Chain A
């Protein structure tokens, strides 16, 4: 049996990067839509495109590069997804991407991929990812839907509350140990659970109480 692969989970801050999708079929359209979901408008390289991709491009949410793939089309990119229907082309794209030191992912081939995208739930700035090391994508998707339902209510507002609180605490002290102590106590006392229970006033009082105790 294969040694299970371990991975380093990160969230990419790819706002300013050039991201490239190679392929113009359904899979390329699917990946482009995921990029769009993260406010990323990729360059898509293929000789022909699905009507869906044409529509996405017409909305300005992707740029279609209508030509046969060649390695220099990857120049200036940082992330490359190979999802054409031609497996040997996808592998070639991978070799080129690796030679240029780019982050590469190939559809249906985790072996040659530097990274794997997983099932996810997105709520504003927040993303929850679920992966099962390839054991059961169906389980990952079902669990994603369950967690997604849990996160229906106001999670972006909860996050904003935390960000505001962070700003307030950072304005009061530069001492990292004190900040850490405050946060540890707030998390321990269930700040999120208070917000979850719509007890925003209690949450604010709790923040003030803990700050006063530590400063």
Chain B
């Protein structure tokens, strides 16, 4: 893959999509679980299914098609993951799914994939994803662990403070331009850094000061860096 190619990472609403996983072994199981967690009810196709996949089928979390893959099974799929242990079959699934207009991921072949999986850190409502377009899953995982280890444990509480401040700012200021000014001022004064290093009280003071500064006329406020 060329060096300049970067992962354009997005989050996809799969709840309304027709998702198919070809392969019901360990890899297919993992891929199906990822989709289920994101709100999809994937169709899983494979002659032999792991015990977990069979359980998930019984509880209605996925639809299991205990059969060999056949071209007509792709049907109206929107998103297809080729996850068998047979590279040739995966390639066939990929090309047929692409012809059907689906987004395709081939577990053993990033170059044939429309999308790559990313590694995710979930801390409360916060999601951090790390992706390298499939160049090195091990690197992605290592970096995820590294980021996780250097982030403060109470990051979700920090997010809660930002939500609270947002409420406070929206309540005290009605003009979107004033709100914007306060947020850029808070950014300039490194509110998050203050929260990390000195804690909630100091950060609260920074917010109060900026809100105070916003209550004076626009042209009398301290100048911001460009």
**Which A residues form the contact surface with B (CB < 8 A)?**
4-15, 35, 37-40, 101, 103, 105, 113-118, 120, 122, 124-133, 135-136, 138-139, 141-143, 145-147, 150, 155, 158-159, 162-163, 165-166, 183, 186-187, 191-193, 196
Contact = CB atoms under 8 A, between A and B. Distances in A.
A120 B35 contact: no
A130 B187 contact: no
Interface residues of B, number: 67
A132 B112 CA distance: 31
B83 interface: no
Contacts of A129: 9, 11, 118, 127-131
Q: Which label, helix, strand, loop or mixed, suits the secondary structure of the B interface?
A: mixed
Nearest to B4: A39
A136 B160 CA distance: 9
B133 A13 contact: yes
Contact of A9 (B9, B15, B125): B9
Contacts of B118: 9-11, 129
B143 to A, nearest CB: 6
Contacts of A163: 135-136, 139
B187 A133 contact: no
Interface stretch (B36-44, B58-66, B218-226): B36-44
22 contacts: A7-B14, A8-B13, A11-B8, A11-B134, A13-B116, A13-B134, A15-B5, A39-B4, A39-B6, A115-B12, A118-B11, A125-B132, A127-B131, A128-B130, A129-B118, A131-B126, A132-B162, A133-B125, A135-B163, A136-B163, A139-B158, A186-B138
B146 A193 contact: yes
A145 B187 CA distance: 10
Contacts of A115: 10-13
B139 A158 contact: yes
A4 B126 CA distance: 12
Nearest to A126: B132
Given A10-B116, A11-B117, A14-B114, 11 more contacts: A7-B11, A8-B35, A13-B115, A13-B116, A13-B134, A128-B130, A132-B127, A138-B191, A163-B135, A187-B142, A193-B146
A148 to B, nearest CB: 11
A149 to B, nearest CB: 10
B161 to A, nearest CB: 8
